[in-house]
A = this chain, B = another copy of it.
Amino acid sequence: WRPLFRRSFSASSRWSVIRDISALEPRLSPRYQECRDGDLLCLEWPAPPRNILLVKKDGEPSVTESLVEFASHITSTYPSISLVLEPHTAAEVHQTLSTPVYTSTADEQLPVAVHEKVDLVVTFGGDGTILRAASFFATCYNVPPVLSFSMGTLGFLSEWKFAEYKRAFREVYMSGAGVGDRTMVLDCPRPTSSDERVESEMGPTGWSSIRGKSMGSTRGARILMRNRLKLGVFTRDGAPVHPNDGSRLPAVQAEHPGIYAMNEVLIHRGKEPHLAIVDIFVGGRFLTEAVADGVIISTPTGSTAYSLSSGGSIVHPLVPSLLLTPICARSLSFRPLVLPTSTPVTLRLSEKNRGRELEVSIDGINIGRGMTVGMEVRVWDEEMRRGENDWHGGVPCVMRRTIGGEAHEGWVGGLNGLLKFNHPFGEEP
């Protein structure tokens, strides 16, 4: 018996509505400033974010409840915010909410339109949920910032504990409220202590009238820009293959053959009990023929995922690099490689495979079509270029603030706490 859940359900059911995402205002793109005090970037909204996509792990009632709790808080505290949900999530929870939710009303999947509308993504789940959220933007150049809450299952990428959600959201929301706003804060004594009234006290233009809430630009949310890799799958004749498998990966436009991966792309023998044979080209030059279960091309973010299980090194997310890691290579001398991000890498299914079909997986999703002899997976640089404040291509992840504001904090903590890195011998106390 869960009173809060029940109550909000019955109270709001009368006027809850599902609306189409096309009705939303266009997306706001934040800027990412270099901070003086560390390796992370500083989030800076031009105006308060309005359209927020919530993505949750499926099949776990407690996660759904948390999403509803979060959504209720947002809609009551920040009334100008609109919530976007996946169609099946919208159907599952809209009646428990007192405000309309936005989704695709025509399709069972989120449309590419999310690229044009979503200001911020919030995830509830583990690493898989973040990967899932990122996959909605797999053909999108600019990914909105991602605020991630771990729910029960621990994740290496999920930053925040759900218990911190009010503070975490406010921190992200307020990032960018500038000097003028802070001045006002100093002038006007803060009249309320309630989190629930944050936005109700703001004027119509956004943050300017919030009292006591601005944290100044130096206190804006910290962003770890995780670089992705851009890839394409090509037929033997060089024609791009649309990796749309009818389930999750978005349809790729004809003029845009690339798709972005956050963890990795890989070729694998799948169900086939025999070894796969893959020709690997690095920088246009033939490197080697891999005879193996498969081959992984991974980002530094993915270095703690499948690549790690296959013997790859752990690479810090701020090292601009690609990892090339074989899966169970039938060779004593195939060592994982770490390459510059600018290196184009190609995996071609060798003619020696004789008609078998291999699986291609992107961030844990098999693409709809198997790979046949002569087909290629190609990876290019994502070009996460750094003109002054000009970042794109990566996944901007909101990090927990720690003393020092260093990107190392969370990462070192994750290595020790989650991966049990160099776990000391000896019995537990």
With beta carbons under 8 angstroms apart, the residue of B287, B306, B335, B417 that contacts A332 is B335
A358 CA to B190 CA in the complex, in Å?
59
A425 CA to B285 CA in the complex, in Å?
22
Q: Number of contacting residues on A, CB 8 A?
A: 76
Please give me the residue from chain B that is nearest to A408 by CB atom.
B283
With beta carbons under 8 angstroms apart, the residue of B309, B323, B326, B359 that contacts A330 is B309
A388 at interface by CB-CB < 8 Å: no
Are B340 and A285 in touch, CB under 8 angstroms? Answer: no
From known contacts A338-B315, A366-B271, infer whether A426 and B332 are also in contact, taking CB-CB under 8 Å.
Answer: no
Chain B residues positioned under 8 Å from A288 (CB to CB): 416, 421-422
A343 at interface by CB-CB < 8 Å: yes
Which residues in window 407-429 of A have CB below 8 A to B?
A: 407-409, 412, 415-428
A314 CA to B415 CA in the complex, in Å?
21
Are A337 and B314 in touch, CB under 8 angstroms? Answer: yes
5 smallest CB-CB distances across A and B, nearest first, come from A283-B408, A332-B333, A313-B313, A309-B328, A334-B422
How many copies of this chain? 4
A404 CA to B292 CA in the complex, in Å?
30
Chain B residues positioned under 8 Å from A154 (CB to CB): 425-427
Please give me the residue from chain B that is nearest to A321 by CB atom.
B319
Are B292 and A319 in touch, CB under 8 angstroms? Answer: no
Are B425 and A290 in touch, CB under 8 angstroms? Answer: no
Are B420 and A271 in touch, CB under 8 angstroms? Answer: no
* A336 CB to nearest B CB, Å: 5
A310 at interface by CB-CB < 8 Å: yes
* A366 CB to nearest B CB, Å: 5
* A361 CB to nearest B CB, Å: 5
A282 at interface by CB-CB < 8 Å: yes
Q: List 20 additional A-B contacts (Cβ < 8 Å) besides A319-B340, A333-B423, A420-B425.
A: A273-B359, A273-B366, A282-B408, A282-B412, A290-B422, A293-B327, A308-B332, A309-B328, A309-B331, A314-B338, A315-B337, A316-B339, A319-B339, A320-B320, A331-B333, A334-B421, A417-B428, A418-B425, A419-B425, A420-B424
